[in-house]
């Protein structure tokens, strides 16, 4: 069985600038209607105003809109309950982080956006990204 690997893609960047603690933000639209990738490795890179709370969680979700227009509002933690949970990474007591989620299933045949919920205990600065490397079998 052959594995087809896509290219590293930025799913969110400026959308995460100054993201307050306990809030979320949607990234840019990702179109998986042609390539139909099944999985991805995700990388979350962020810098916070002060040291993050050790043990805090940065949670990653995916919002799906088959038509590419009707995405849920992910600006509050309560609204994120509408999205599909991808996973979380644990923060350490530092201001700069690079956190990785491996082998995460992604929606096939639809358009989607990542939603990052900041649980670091601090507001984020303006150097933040969520990138992914998609692949399929």
- Taking only the tens place, the pLDDT of each residue in 69-89 is 888 776 666 676 678 899 999
Quote the strand ranges of 27-82, DSSP E: 30-31, 39-47, 57-65
Higher pLDDT, 127 or 36: 36
Pairing, β 9-12 against β 129-136: antiparallel
Domain 4-136: give its CATH architecture: Sandwich (2.60)
Q: Is the dihedral of CA 29, 33, 38, 41 positive or negative?
A: negative
pLDDT of residue 97: 93
- Residue 81: helix, strand or coil by DSSP? helix
Q: Residue 135 and residue 137: Cα distance in Å, rounded? A: 7
**Residues found in the chain:** 137
Tens-place pLDDT, residues 29-74: 999 999 999 999 999 999 999 999 999 999 999 988 877 788 877 6
Half-sphere exposure of 2 (CA within 13 A, CB side): 2
Label residues 49-86 b or e (16+ Cβ within 10 Å = b).
Answer: eeebbeebbbbbbbbbeeeeeebbebeeeeebeebeeb
State the chain's mean pLDDT as an integer: 91
Lowest mean pLDDT among 13-27, 46-60, 79-93, 100-114: 79-93
pTM: 0.92
């Amino acid at each position: 069985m052959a594995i087809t690997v896509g290219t590293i893609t930025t799913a969110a960047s400026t959308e995460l600038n100054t993201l307050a603690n306990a809030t979320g933000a949607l990234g840019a639209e990702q179109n998986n209607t042609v390539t139909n990738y099944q999985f991805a490795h995700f990388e979350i890179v962020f810098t916070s105003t002060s040291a993050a709370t050790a043990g805090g969680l940065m949670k990653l979700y995916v919002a799906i809109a088959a038509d590419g227009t009707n995405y849920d509002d992910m600006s509050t933690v309560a609204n994120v309950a509408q999205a599909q949970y991808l996973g979380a990474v644990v923060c350490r007591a530092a201001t700069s982080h690079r956190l990785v989620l491996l082998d995460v299933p992604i929606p096939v045949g639809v358009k989607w956006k990542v939603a990052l919920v900041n649980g670091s205990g601090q507001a984020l600065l303006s150097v933040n990204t969520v990138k992914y490397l998609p692949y399929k079998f």
